[in-house]
Structure 1
Amino acid sequence: MTGKEISGIFAAFDPQLKVLSNERLFSGLSNDNFLVRTAQQAFLLKCYREHWPVQGLAAQTVFAQQQVCPKPLWTDEVNKLAIFEYLEGDIAQGDYTLELLQKLIAFHHHNAVTEPMDIKYELDFYQKTHLYQQYQADVEDALKQIALLPRDEGFCHNDLVKENIIVNSKGMFLIDFEYAKSNDVYFDLAALTVSFTLGNKQKISLLSNYQQQLPAFQKFYYSVRKLECYQLVFLVLCICWYSARSVDNKVTELRTQLDCLISSMSHR
């Protein structure tokens, strides 16, 4: 996208704004993102390559008011464009915080009802790839175990990787809600486990902290085994997704984590 095209988009958003600079951001692989600075403030211009995230944008509008995420300011569904407040900060490193868990729980209790994420459908997209076939038996076993366990339904982010968690002096914030929809909350908890490379004691702590932050009336099925089954599924999805986009360093890193997880699970 050229500077002239970006200026035209911002003229449609707010004719009073004068674009001073624009910078292509390469952290996201699903969409084209631009940091656009004006005399007044900085904005994020997002150009969606795939589906238009109706549920995600609606949820982000609600949760921006609760300081969970940046606010959508303008949308153009026909051209799949959206402008957001730009959230200054860094990609999360180190560990998650209780504040992040509280924000995630609030998100999980969002009252939107959507068609649930079909994990098997997402996995089947890669079923003919060599990578998926290497782990197919483990995936099928994990899905069988998940099916036998109680479901903890919630409105989930579904892409809770570090790159979608921003940290600044005000705390931790979520971004990129493109895949937000109903799912088992363990899918998001598994994503946190993978993103922050949590060990066995840290997984127990994650589940305990999550449970303690829940409202007293909220039921939650506490299970490290369930978390690890979702962790396995999430890892395979991520590995296949990154492989399809030739992000080889991420594939290598996540396969190491997956192989360690499978070995650990098989010895219990």
Structure 2
Amino acid sequence: MTHSPDLYALVIRLAARENGRLRTTQGDMAHAAFLNILREADPALAQAVHDMDGRKPFTLSPLHGFGHGRNGQLNIQAGQDGWLRVTLLDADLFQAFIHYFLQGGRPIIRLEARTFLVTEILSAPNSHPLAGTDTLEALFHRWETRPFSPDMQQIRLRFRTPTAFSLRDPAVPHRHSHVLPDPPLVFGELAGYWDRLTGHETQEAVRAYAAVHVVVARHKIETHMLQYRRGKQVGFTGDVTFRILDAEHEPLIRHLNRLADLAFFTGVGSKTTMGQGQLARHGRM
């Protein structure tokens, strides 16, 4: 683990350069725009990220601030302001990405035929509720050293963009999408991200523990249909309160809280690089 930031959440403020339309589901466009920016800044790194198997070290939000659209289309006016959220789970990736915006001139982000001026990039925790940085080492020790209390047995998360889990049934030859915040899925996936970032091995223990000792105590969620170019995807958004019924396995209770903080940067579920699965712990927003 390192002392420099490993985890970055950036809020990129945008202004539309011209009138036009965009599909209301822009996650695939944002994904392409991100890789194009990375390709200009560091072609070798861009290719390495593109070729990675499994989870990519970044997440992207949909466009915010431009309304919800009608009939699958957003009408955008020149000068209209909005923002896009990007999280980066690697210091080299952050340096390459931010370098693109520091080269001089007025940087732009292109989503298909529409272009947006980048007016500001926010990364400091006090600059925007969804911006910030952290280190894996600090995140680890924060929950190791905090005095244990019953408050740790309740974890409240807000799923901000449509979230779904891609599951495979051994008896069925294809994957299916699950759109409920089941504790073993949420915390099991987060533990998998933690393990890949740190080299620890906690996923199986977390998944087994969450299946027995963690329940959804309250929720207020709804589902949304996303229309990508190659098909549709359903996901859920909203607030979920998880209750840890056990009070004896203190190390695992601490780790679940650590994972809830990690989720601010990693997201959870499928298509997190295309606008899905961004979430944050209550109290962080």
TM-score band, normalised by the shorter chain? under 0.3
TM-score with structure 2 setting the length: 0.24
TM-score with structure 1 setting the length: 0.25
Higher helix share: 1
Higher strand share: 2
